[in-house]
């Protein structure tokens, strides 16, 4: 990133320095000063448009050296006073040396800086030469060190960002796996567990053919072969659940549209689980099922009720088979109950 803008920064900075250099140039050397200013402007524009890769990058490098060498070679003519160290040339030299460290490796910049120093030092007195060499070397080394520190910091930040992105992806996958596990546990609770319970209740009177049919249905659900993309009729599916309900159900129907199989399946399973809970926990033998357009399905009993907040975490009937299952299908399940006040399970799809 730094190297990408080094040429632009160098060009802009040297144009500004060259403007002030022309203003400090003696009147008899103004034509030369304006010529060097024009060279600085043209080189700056060329660096902007030559690009930062391949041939364009090499052209920009050559222009930077040519501009610096020309201004350094003309330092005696453009100096404000004879024998005075020309700050225009010195500033152009140091800025060029510094910015080259941001773009090129030492095997390129060291020979280039050496050539520029030869051009800069040729007309200078020995005392000025020593100070110039020290200044250029110190600034060049510091620029290189700063660039290396910046590169290392940037790479470390990139590694940390990559690691964070990887951890976020892993966490997302882990959440997805946990959601799938919860989904499977809910399906298992609603299918195989219910079938086993039915067989245990009926004992020897259980019809083997009926048990086999339940097992085939449960297997198709557990393996995903349920035709989830098709549209089904909710009332017909619910009537099948009511026909097998362990409690008497007063059903009140309103016409509802066809639903995606996944939504209808979630509603059917939730209703079946609610009716099983009435038999197991409510202490009554009947419930009221209301189906309203929208789609909204309510199962109500007048049993002993309970405190939903007090249900242990390992009990998955409410959370897994009702709430999470409906949420996974794009719906919503709400369980309202209190000790002695019965229980109401309200299922809606979609979740508005």
Q: Give the pLDDT mean for 254-261.
A: 81
Question: Which residue(s) pair with 343 in the sheet?
Answer: 301, 337
62 or 202: whose pLDDT is higher? 62
From the number of C-beta atoms within 10 Å of its C-beta (0-12, 13-18, 19+), residue 278 rates as: buried
Cα distance between residue 320 and residue 134, in whole Å: 76
pLDDT confidence band for 298 (50 / 70 / 90):
very high
pLDDT at 295 over 80: yes
pLDDT at 190 over 70: no
The percent of residues in the chain predicted with pLDDT above 90, rounded, is 7
Cα distance between residue 114 and residue 116, in whole Å: 5
3-state helix, strand, coil in the chain (%, to 5): 70, 10, 25
Structural domains for the chain: 2-159 (no CATH), 229-348 (3.30.565.10)
Confidence at residue 23, expressed as pLDDT on a 0 to 100 scale: 82
To 10 degrees, what angle do helices 54-73 and 87-100 make?
160
Cα distance between residue 294 and residue 302, in whole Å: 25
Confidence at residue 229, expressed as pLDDT on a 0 to 100 scale: 46
pLDDT at 112 over 80: yes
Pick from 50-59, 120-129, 159-168, 236-245: least confident: 50-59
Tokens at residue 89, please? Answer: 């040339």
Highest-pLDDT range among 16-25, 175-184, 201-210: 16-25
Query: For 112, phi and psi rounded to 5 degrees?
Result: -65, -45
Q: Which of 347, 351, 181 is nearest to 269 (CA)?
A: 347
- Mean pLDDT, rounded, of the chain: 78
Cα distance between residue 213 and residue 240, in whole Å: 13
Q: What is the DSSP string of 241-254?
A: HHHT-SSEEEEE--
Q: Which of 32, 6, 18 is nearest to 91 (CA)?
A: 18
pLDDT at 246 over 60: yes
pLDDT confidence band for 227 (50 / 70 / 90):
very low
Chain Cα centroid distance, residue 46: 38
State the CB neighbour count (10 A cutoff) for residue 334. 14
To 10 degrees, what angle do helices 54-73 and 2-23 make?
20
H/E stretch holding 98: helix 87-100
Cα distance between residue 222 and residue 187, in whole Å: 7
H/E stretch holding 291: strand 286-292
The percent of residues in the chain predicted with pLDDT above 70, rounded, is 75
pLDDT confidence band for 299 (50 / 70 / 90):
very high
213 or 35: whose pLDDT is higher? 35
Using CA of residue 266, residue 271, residue 276, residue 278, what is the dihedral sign? positive
Contact 247, 287 (CB under 8 A): yes
Confidence at residue 344, expressed as pLDDT on a 0 to 100 scale: 92
Highest-pLDDT range among 82-86, 176-180, 211-215, 238-242: 238-242
Taking the C-alpha atoms of 276, 282, 286 and 292 in order, what is their torsion angle to the nearest 10 degrees? -70
pLDDT at 187 over 60: no
**CB neighbours of 84 closer than 8 A, spacing ≥ 6?**
none
21 or 320: whose pLDDT is higher? 21
From the number of C-beta atoms within 10 Å of its C-beta (0-12, 13-18, 19+), residue 106 rates as: exposed
Contact 251, 289 (CB under 8 A): yes
Confidence at residue 185, expressed as pLDDT on a 0 to 100 scale: 56
Question: Which residue(s) pair with 344 in the sheet?
Answer: 300, 336
């Amino acid at each position: 990133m730094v190297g990408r803008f080094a040429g632009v920064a160098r060009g802009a900075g040297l144009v500004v320095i060259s403007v002030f250099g022309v203003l400090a140039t003696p009147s008899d050397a103004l034509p030369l000063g304006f010529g060097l200013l024009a060279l600085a402007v043209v080189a700056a524009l060329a660096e902007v448009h030559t690009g930062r890769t391949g041939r364009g990058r090499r052209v920009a490098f050559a222009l930077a050296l040519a501009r610096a060498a020309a201004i350094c070679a003309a330092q005696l003519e453009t100096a404000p006073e004879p024998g005075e160290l020309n700050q225009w040339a010195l500033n152009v030299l140091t800025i060029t040396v510094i910015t080259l460290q941001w773009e090129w490796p030492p095997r390129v910049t060291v020979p280039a800086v050496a050539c520029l120093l030869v051009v800069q030092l040729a007309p200078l007195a020995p005392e000025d030469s020593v100070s110039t060499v020290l200044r250029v070397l110190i600034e060049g080394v510091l620029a290189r060190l700063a660039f290396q520190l910046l590169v290392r910091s940037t790479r470390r930040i990139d590694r940390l960002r990559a690691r964070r992105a990887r951890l976020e992806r892993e966490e997302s996958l882990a959440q997805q796996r946990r959601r799938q596990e919860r989904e499977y546990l809910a399906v298992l609770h609603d299918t195989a567990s219910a079938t086993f319970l039915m067989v245990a209740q009926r004992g020897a009177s259980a019809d083997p053919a009926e048990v086999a049919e339940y097992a085939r249905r449960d297997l198709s659900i557990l393996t995903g072969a349920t035709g989830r993309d098709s549209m089904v009729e909710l009332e017909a599916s619910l009537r099948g659940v009511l026909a097998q309900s362990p409690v008497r159900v007063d059903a009140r129907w309103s016409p509802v549209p066809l639903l995606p199989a996944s939504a209808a399946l979630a509603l059917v399973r939730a209703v079946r689980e609610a009716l099983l809970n009435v038999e197991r926990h409510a202490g009554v033998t009947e419930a009221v099922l209301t189906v309203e357009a929208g789609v909204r399905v309510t199962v109500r009993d007048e049993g002993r009720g309970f405190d939903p907040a007090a249900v242990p975490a390992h009990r998955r009937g409410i959370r897994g088979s009702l709430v999470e299952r409906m949420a996974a299908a794009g719906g919503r399940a709400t369980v309202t109950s209190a000790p002695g006040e019965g229980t109401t399970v309200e299922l809606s799809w979609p979740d508005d």
